[in-house]
Amino acid sequence: MSNARLQRLLGALLLVLVIATMATTGEALRWTMPHYIVKPLATITVLLIAWTAESPVSARYRYAVVAGMLLSLVGDVLLMLPQNLFAAGLGAFLLAHCCYIVGFLGESRLLARPAVAMGFLAVAAVLLSVIFPSLPGPLRIPVVAYVGVITLMAIQSATWSLEAPSAHARRAALGAVFFLVSDATLAIARFRMDVPYRDIIVPVTYYIAQWCLARSVSRRVEATRA
């Protein structure tokens, strides 16, 4: 099987699994066996897209993205369990974002675009101003740290796309932005107020983010535009 065909098959499988994940995300279904199966499988599938990508940007970048997705898989499992493992899941995703940052730093200079940094920091400040008053005391420091790390991920990905413009760099930046949207929606819904269509917005933006990051591994997106 050619790599291009494998990537298409994995992409189609991911779409099916994401739809199945959304279908089993409601309060009545979230803790049923189908949800326990399809949600991790979706993350494993996007990880395989990154691992099997042709013409990688670099070996370091591939390993960083795959490590981030492995930690995301751990975070997915921790957050979907009925036990209150939110802090542990948050920690797993924080480490995942650190892996993505390491990958971006291999392709760009740290905080090389101050205007970009200021823009994303303003967004982070607004988000924290919304959720911070409602955060339980023990979660305040972990959540602030998490917002700081994911903001740095978004800043560094955008810096890469501006410092060395390319289709794969833009895809990485788009993935980071979708990750920020997904996590912001989840945080607001969990700590501040109900968000309409949360059960659709969060998984859709999350898996778009991970797919974009997985596809950013390959330089072939320059030729395919896919």
pLDDT in tens, 79-123: 888 788 889 999 999 999 999 999 999 998 988 899 999 999 999
Residue 150 has pLDDT above 60, yes or no: yes
Strand partners, 218: 56
> 65-80 in b/e burial notation, b at 16+ Cβ within 10 A?
bbbbbbbbbbbbbbbb
Cα separation, 221 vs 96, in Å, equals 23
Per-residue pLDDT tens for 193-225? 989 988 889 999 999 999 999 999 998 755 444
Residue 201: the pLDDT is 93
Residue 224: the pLDDT is 46
Residue 111: the pLDDT is 87
Residue 52: the pLDDT is 95
39-45's contacts with Cβ under 8 Å and 24+ in sequence apart are 39/76, 39/80, 40/73, 40/76, 40/77, 41/17, 42/14, 42/17, 42/18, 42/207, 43/69, 43/72, 43/73, 43/76, 43/210, 44/73, 45/10, 45/13, 45/14, 45/17
Structural domain containing residue 216: 3-224
Residue 128: the pLDDT is 95
Into how many domains does the chain fold?
Answer: 1
The two tokens of residue 14 are 């991911």
Task: Supply angle C-alpha 28, 69, 208, rounded to 5.
Answer: 65
> Cα-flanking dihedrals φ and ψ of residue 160, to 5°?
-60, -45
Task: Supply angle C-alpha 9, 14, 17, rounded to 5.
Answer: 125
Q: Give residue 226's pLDDT band: very low, low, confident or very high (50, 70, 90).
A: very low
Q: Give residue 4's pLDDT band: very low, low, confident or very high (50, 70, 90).
A: confident
Task: Supply angle C-alpha 97, 218, 54, rounded to 5.
Answer: 125
How many residues appear in the chain?
226
Whether the CA torsion 156, 158, 160, 163 is positive or negative: it is negative
Residue 171 has pLDDT above 90, yes or no: yes
Cα separation, 47 vs 69, in Å, equals 6
Query: What's the chain's average pLDDT?
Result: 91
Q: Give residue 24's pLDDT band: very low, low, confident or very high (50, 70, 90).
A: confident
Residue 84: the pLDDT is 82
Residue 127: the pLDDT is 96
Is residue 91 within 8 Å of residue 142, measured between CB atoms?
A: yes
Residue 199: the pLDDT is 86
Q: Is pLDDT larger for residue 194 or for residue 74? A: 74
* Amino acid occupying residue 156: Q
Cα separation, 16 vs 80, in Å, equals 19
Q: Is 218 helix (H, G, I), strand (E, B) or coil?
A: strand
